[in-house]
Amino acid sequence: MKFGILILEGPYQHEASDSAYNFAKAAIAKGHEITRVFFYQDGVLNATKLMDVQRDDRHIQERWTELSKEHGIEYIVCVAAAKRRGIVEDIVAENFKIGGLGMLTDLAIEADRLVTFRA
């Protein structure tokens, strides 16, 4: 099965990003495909490479980056939501791309299921 993931919350506000990450890992382990992850609203905060996380805490952005490298998952950051939050191309982490809402529409069409993670 092909899953699309939509993340609407920032990395440390709620457990949405952690839950989405764990869902993606579990789906891949069961043989499913993650076609794309779309970061929207405060979810765009997951994409910044400016995170400075304490050593004893999880680094959510690095987790997402590693997962993308391992499995070739495409990450799209909504351009409008990113601009509202001061996130520009220069500070977007590796394997994250800025794109428009049309890519979310494409994801909903291409995936068998679109799973949304929010508070």
From the candidates 5, 78, 98, 111, which is the catalytic residue? 78
What φ, ψ does residue 42 adopt, rounded to 5°?
-70, -10
From CA 105, how far away is CA 63, in angstroms rounded? 25
5 is catalytic: no
Q: Between the CA of residue 14 and those of 40, 58, 116, what are the distances in Å?
A: 15, 14, 14
Pairwise CA distance, residues 10 & 119, whole Å:
10
Which residues are designated catalytic?
Answer: 78
